[in-house]
Structure 1
Amino acid sequence: MEYIVLDLEWNQSNTGKEDAVEKLPFEIIEIGAIKLNKERVMVSEFNELIKPQVYHEMHKITSKLIHIQMQELERGRPFPEVGGDFVRWCGQEEQLFCTWGTLDLTELQRNMAYYEMPLLAPGPLPYLDVQKLFAIAYEERKIRRNLEYAIDFLHIEKDIPFHRAFSDAYYTAKILIRILEEHPEVVVNLSYDTFCPPKDRRDEVKAQFDTYVKYISREFKDKTEAFADKEVVSSKCYLCHRNLRKKIKWFSANGRHYYCVAYCEKHGYLKGKIRVRKAYDGGVYIVKTTKLIPKEEAEAIAARRDHAREVRKRHKHSKAGNAGE
């Protein structure tokens, strides 16, 4: 097993969403990567700038953060050439991508799709989110630290500057090596890049971890079709695998995140959370997580549901009043 530790830098429209390209809101301008072998030794590097084809003015925040000038990028090669070389550099060995955070593989595949290149995988792509693994291994699970904090926490030497693709891949690789040495048990906590949702029901992801389970659905035409699917809205205890009756039915306060609470006689309250994600081609898919929670959290969710109901009721009455004027 080889580890491909990846980091990207990207640019975007400098004048706002109205000038952004819908299928490419973020254009990759630099790819940096480190390859670790199964002995956790750095054996190869990839580092290359990319000549912009879509956004020819550097976004002010991007320029300030990574200190790349457009003139420097103009000396690079177009993404299809660099991206193709990167895929060939990754090689044919069994490998696992590793990133700091959750965005890089999605944006890499979005750029590949824009140029009609073969994607990294036909469906959800398992990878290691080293930022998440650091939180599990060394701190409270929900705390997401920045890369430099983790380097300082682990007393790793800072021998090259931060905020460029190669340097951030290099430091992420250093952190991953420490995690593999000191807390190898946390590596079972895979993440999934879902730029390509499952093709059909047989390919849907059902992954169980130590404190929760994750379900990634196939693509649906729209949200209504998704919520008509029994698997999407079901509640099961992931410890005893029993179908459960909901104490709090699915509700949402924002139309994107949905919550429910079910109760298992043996294991207690379980919270379900659904996130509705848009697919690249315009459909939607569902990412659902289920985890055990204490009674107090179940009561807090009930209060959130009641508040959402009250807000909707006031909004409905307000619209009715305005229509009658």
Structure 2
Amino acid sequence: MDYIVFDLEWNQCPNGKDKENKHLPFEIIEIGAVKLNENRETSQRFHRVIKPVVYEQMHFRTQEIIRIDKESLNQGVSFPSALRDFLEWCGPDACFCTWGAMDLTELQRNMKFYGQLELLEGPVRFFDVQKLFSISYEDGKSRKSLEYATDYLEIPKGEDFHRALADAFYTSEILKRISVDCMWANFSLDTYQNPKKKSEEIHIVYEKYEKYVSREFRTKEDAMKDREVVSTRCFLCGKSAKKKIRWFSMNTKNHFCLAVCPEHGYLKGKIRMKKTDDGMTYVVKTLKLTDEDEAKMIREKRELLRRKRKVKRHQGK
């Protein structure tokens, strides 16, 4: 087994979001990767510059950050060619590692655009090194920049940031400073290739919480009618946890609830509504052990919502 620590750089529509290709908002222009063996020792590196074909002109912000010249891009290879080289280089038993969760999603979106998505089976389990750094060295909730983490761990900086191979190198060095136990206890799941039917739904139990990824539904309302979606079983003992605060929503994407397990105490529920490229809806639900302070915050959040709705009703009269 090898760890593939990779980074992508991408361009976007230089003429604004309203003129972008909706099937490819971010076009990958560079892939950089570092391969670590099972002992997390560096063994190989990979680098490709990709010639853009959807957004041939660089967005001004991309140009400012990446600092790659037009000539280098014009000499780049096609994305399908770079992708095949990359996956062949990765090998069949690769574990992907990235700084944050976006790179793996955008890689698959670009693959889908070029009809190559079948080359990578999903949903994809991976290691989010940004999250692992936060768990290992901070509060587990913060998400700091790659340069911040590099400086924090006093890793020598020999290359500029925001080039794919350099960022992959720094990410790999940070990964080496995170325990293997922490990595495997806190792996991530990319759901760009989401479950389509009931038999494909996903339940993952971590140390302090459970994650559930549902099948597809036509609408958010259909999803919230599903028994499994709204259930609150304790992930430690499997018993039904009684809802103290039923599912409520502060916006169109997130729903919250508070439940109590007679053996393990408070459980905080969160449902995130996700949209597929085809306009379908699926749910990512987490049930997490929590305490009285956080339970109080959920109660206050629900009460705030009630007051807002009451004001709206009075304004409508």
Structure 1 partner of 2:259: 262
After TM superposition, list the pairs within 5 Å mapping 1:36-185 onto structure 2.
36-92=36-92, 94-179=93-178, 183-185=179-181
Q: Number of residues paired by the alignment? A: 316
Which whole-Å CA distance do the structure 2 matches of 1:121 and 1:248 have between them?
40
1:60-94 CA distance string (max 9 Å, x none): 111111112333212112211111211121122x1
Give the TM-score normalised by structure 2.
0.95
Matched, 1:295 2:292: yes
Which whole-Å CA distance do the structure 1 matches of 2:104 and 2:29 have between them?
14
Contact 1:58 / 1:69 at 8 angstroms: preserved in 2?
Answer: no
- Amino-acid identity (%): 49
The amino acid across from 1:308 in the alignment is L
1:279-325 CA distance string (max 9 Å, x none): 1222111111111111121122111112112223333444x45xxxx
Which whole-Å CA distance do the structure 2 matches of 1:31 and 1:236 have between them?
42
Which whole-Å CA distance do the structure 2 matches of 1:209 and 1:12 have between them?
36
Structure 1 partner of 2:243: 246
Which whole-Å CA distance do the structure 2 matches of 1:42 and 1:316 have between them?
62
Matched, 1:186 2:143: no
Contact 1:109 / 1:120 at 8 angstroms: preserved in 2?
Answer: no
Q: CA deviation at 1:107?
A: 0.1
Q: Which moves more between the two structures, 303-312 or 118-127?
A: 118-127
The amino acid across from 2:253 in the alignment is R
Q: Could you say what secondary structure the match of 2:117 adopts?
A: coil
Which whole-Å CA distance do the structure 2 matches of 1:196 and 1:40 have between them?
28
Q: Could you say what secondary structure the match of 2:97 adopts?
A: strand
Q: Gaps (5+ residues) in structure 1?
A: none
Structure 1 counterpart of 2:224, from 201, 224, 227: 227
Q: CA deviation at 1:115?
A: 0.9
C-alpha RMSD of the superposition: 1.5
Q: Could you say what secondary structure the match of 1:104 adopts?
A: helix
The amino acid across from 1:173 in the alignment is S
Structure 2 partner of 1:207: 204
Contact 1:56 / 1:70 at 8 angstroms: preserved in 2?
Answer: no
1:16-48 CA distance string (max 9 Å, x none): 211011111111110001111112222221111
Matched, 1:2 2:17: no
1:148-180 CA distance string (max 9 Å, x none): 12112222211222110110001111111221x
Which whole-Å CA distance do the structure 2 matches of 1:22 and 1:288 have between them?
27
Which whole-Å CA distance do the structure 2 matches of 1:267 and 1:121 have between them?
39
The amino acid across from 1:17 in the alignment is K
Contact 2:241 / 2:262 at 8 angstroms: preserved in 1?
Answer: no
Q: Could you say what secondary structure the match of 1:23 adopts?
A: coil
